[in-house]
Amino acid sequence: MARFSVASRASFRSERVRVSARISISVTVRSLGRAWNGHDDRLVAELGEYSSHADLLDIAATLDRYADEDTVEIREILAGPGSRLSG
């Protein structure tokens, strides 16, 4: 999950008019996780290029540095059918 927040202020003042505005935008991006039944084809293709045992160990070590919820799609692809990790 990622959260982006932007806040801005603007004002205009003349002899007759004074305008002031505050704008705040907040966007939260959540992984669709299991609700989405597919994977990004580009990600699947890129991960497919890592096929040696050493490559897969490097990827696994890198993924271990991050929360499971942030890497769930990559872990599912690597463990899925046709993957060298799936046995």
What average pLDDT does this structure show over 71-86? 73
pLDDT value at residue 23: 82
**Can you give the three-state secondary structure of 28-49, one letter per residue?**
EECCCHHHCCCCCHHHHHHHHC
pLDDT band, very low/low/confident/very high, at 38 (cuts 50, 70, 90):
low
User: In this structure, what DSSP letter does residue 81 have?
Assistant: T
User: From CA 26, how far away is CA 3, in angstroms rounded?
Assistant: 7
74 exposure class (CB count in 10 Å sphere: 0-12, 13-18, 19+): buried
Average pLDDT over residues 23-40: 65
pLDDT attached to residue 71: 87
Question: Tens of pLDDT along 9-18?
Answer: 888 889 888 9
Average pLDDT along the chain: 77
